[in-house]
Structure 1
Amino acid sequence: MKLSDGPLRVTDQGFFGPDSPTWKIWAAPTALIGFQRSVVLEHFDPNLTAAVADSAGIYADPFGRLDRTLAYFLLVATADSKTAIEASEHLMDVHRKATGIEPITGKRYSANNPASQLWIHVTGWHSVLKCYEMFGPGPLSAAEEAQYWRDCVVAAELQTCDPADVPTSRDEVREYFARVRPTLALTERARTGMHYLLRTRDRGAKLRVGSSLIAPATVATLPAWMRTMGGFDQPGLLDAAYPVAVRLAVRAASAQHAAGTVRLGRLVAPMTGDILRRHFAQLAAPETAPEGTVDPGEARRRYGRAAHAAPAS
């Protein structure tokens, strides 16, 4: 996924626009914690575990893989619709090659499987909101939360899952987790991947220190059944004390406004940090931004690969 150095929004204001809770939440420093949470939970899906383990991307290039994944989510949330559609089509091309045999069931898996894509999508959007509430400014207003889940459904149109299956409220998220829980599993490879992403031990100091510092905050956001199933529970004292420290750190970063968030993003994920830099630069200079938002269907008609394909002879 190649990104330009120019403005993040050229064709339009993307799918959500500057007044949306989506821009606020996905561009907050707490999104980094939410992202660690979501990629750990991804491994509860046996098919995703097989895809991640077979590709070995998180072990061969953990910084790159995590950075590219977070960059994708951030582009969908904040970039113009042309950039988001191009990123979506590129990601589906990558996932199209990620197929194989899931060793527990012996059935073929695909990273583009709609059920697996739904799990990635819901855990991602839920995790980022959860960490924004716990470590950032706190809960959204009722109107903002309702809009956030409507935005979540819109963003799902860029993946292979059916938007009609996407939860549209906090209660529906709980119902979704209850419904899919019997299909989740912890295999040996899943446990290895989860714990590697929580506390990376065999890579550079930056990743080792960063993941270990964030890990207790991530675990503090999880329900008891996920902790028990994943084997990464922690003492209640840590649950009580660590969020306080994280909230103070987030407040310090936020006090520097965009600069603090960009520096934090670049430290952990350079591509993501650059997207944040471009995002905040246009917020500070609104005269450089285009007007209007676009829905994914219209964006795909304008900028999708099929729109520019040569007509059949």
Structure 2
Amino acid sequence: MAKLKRDTVEPHEDYGFFGPGSVVWKVWSYPTAPTVGFQRSVVVEELDPPLVAAVHATQGIYQRSRTRYDRTLKYFAMVAFAGSQQVCKAADILVKVHSKAIGQLPYGDGTYDANDPASQLWIQLTGWHSILYAYEKYGPGKLTEQEETEYWEACAVAAELQTCSPDDIPRSREGVRAYFERMRPQLSASPIARQAMHHLLRTELVLPPVPRWAKPASMVVARTQRIATIATMPRWMREMAGIRQSRLLDVLIVPVMKISFALAHLHPRVELALLGRISPSTVAVVAPIKLGIPPRNKEVLTPAEARARHGYTKPAEAHLEFRARQATRVFGDGQVPSEQGLIESQEILGPLA
């Protein structure tokens, strides 16, 4: 990654949905985002019973931990930084990918569906909240009141790329807290939730293989990020999941991470090199922003404008026939769902293996 040359980086076709000067670019381009922020989001998500049921059924986080992290992070980075057509295409194919994640809840009655608006809202808010939380704890600090309002308005814009409604996105810190308080009684640290959370805290699983002489340093990096991520989780949540860490470690890790991230942020190529180690596919998305390469068209679109221009429907209304066929296969015929969406997604989100 140190050899990455500016003239080999492909520019985006436009600024997408946010653009330079936006609080989204400010927060999501800081090195806390693809590391502690993203790891926190995928760990916390597992407390939602329908979501963890889908995760457990597909087994992706266990069978291909590194590529699953890479592909998921790439999608979130695309929403923040990529051109509008590329993002619309990714959002569209993600509906087909999620159509595979349906079935009966393993604990209690009912079914789960990864395209369900409630599940998508949970993913959206845990993701955006975790990225901001990590930025404020280990980065430059809290946003101004105006920036925070802009941030949650932007979260609602990004929600238009999911099957949930942007109207359900809180527009303030207080609103976000209220949402999580409403969700708290519904959360559950079931055996599969605990298994998933502990697995996703193993940062070493998403790091690339290294020579034997470099393994101690790699394990130190993995252990440090694990400590930092756990330190962002509230005590009640850790107790639910059986995750233990001393208050002393919670305090000591803060200056370590603040200094480390600040130093990395001084050098865009260092940031890209570090990103390439945890998510190679995401580098092409972020590199134009880090290296100051302007898009072909210097414009910011809304999701509605982008869908009209590029010929896509709202995610909530996308691939309804395909999703119905998947439901028939699973609930009607007792068969496993088709992996067509997952296969097609490789062109956009990266390889599965």
Q: TM-score, normalised by structure 2?
A: 0.80
- Percent identity among equivalent residues? 44
Q: CA deviation at 1:211?
A: 4.0
Aligned match of 2:24: 22
Aligned match of 2:272: 262
In the TM superposition, 1:52-201 aligns within 5 A as 52-199=55-202
| 1:202-224 deviation per Cα after TM superposition (whole angstroms, max 9, x unaligned) | 78656866543311111111222
**Two-structure CA RMSD over aligned residues (Å):** 2.1
Structure 2 residue 251 is matched with structure 1 residue 244: no
Q: Within 1, Cα distance between the matches of 2:223 and 2:71? A: 20
State which drifts further: 186-195 or 269-278.
Answer: 269-278
Instruction: Give the 3-state SS of the residue equivalent to 1:29 in structure 2.
Output: coil
Q: Within 2, Cα distance between the matches of 1:304 and 1:211? A: 42
Q: Within 1, Cα distance between the matches of 2:307 and 2:205? A: 41
Q: CA deviation at 1:252?
A: 1.4
Question: Which AA in structure 2 matches 1:296?
Answer: P
The answer to whether the 8 Å contact 1:197/1:211 transfers is no
Q: Within 2, Cα distance between the matches of 1:88 and 1:66? A: 17
Aligned match of 2:3: none
Q: Within 2, Cα distance between the matches of 1:112 and 1:210? A: 35
Q: CA deviation at 1:84?
A: 0.8
Q: Within 2, Cα distance between the matches of 1:8 and 1:285? A: 6
Q: CA deviation at 1:117?
A: 0.6
The answer to whether the 8 Å contact 1:17/1:293 transfers is yes
Q: TM-score, normalised by structure 1?
A: 0.90
Aligned match of 2:325: none
State which drifts further: 143-152 or 201-210.
Answer: 201-210
The answer to whether the 8 Å contact 1:149/1:169 transfers is yes
* Structure 2 residue ranges without an equivalent (≥5): 1-7, 211-217, 319-353
| 1:126-182 deviation per Cα after TM superposition (whole angstroms, max 9, x unaligned) | 000010111111111211111111000000000011111111110000000001111
The answer to whether the 8 Å contact 1:86/1:304 transfers is no
Aligned match of 1:280: 290
Structure 2 residue 225 is matched with structure 1 residue 214: yes
Instruction: Give the 3-state SS of the residue equivalent to 1:9 in structure 2.
Output: coil
Q: CA deviation at 1:6?
A: 6.0
The answer to whether the 8 Å contact 1:100/1:110 transfers is yes
Over 3 Å counting, the alpha-carbon distance change for 1:30 and 1:106 in structure 2 is same
Q: Within 1, Cα distance between the matches of 2:312 and 2:248? A: 52
Q: CA deviation at 1:233?
A: 3.0
Over 3 Å counting, the alpha-carbon distance change for 1:298 and 1:35 in structure 2 is same
Q: CA deviation at 1:236?
A: 0.9
Instruction: Give the 3-state SS of the residue equivalent to 1:44 in structure 2.
Output: coil
Over 3 Å counting, the alpha-carbon distance change for 1:49 and 1:27 in structure 2 is same
Aligned match of 1:37: 40
Q: CA deviation at 1:227?
A: 1.4
Q: Within 2, Cα distance between the matches of 1:8 and 1:50? A: 38
Structure 2 residue 294 is matched with structure 1 residue 292: no
The answer to whether the 8 Å contact 1:217/1:246 transfers is yes
Matched residue count: 299
| 1:26-85 deviation per Cα after TM superposition (whole angstroms, max 9, x unaligned) | 111000210000000110111111111111101111111111111111100111111111
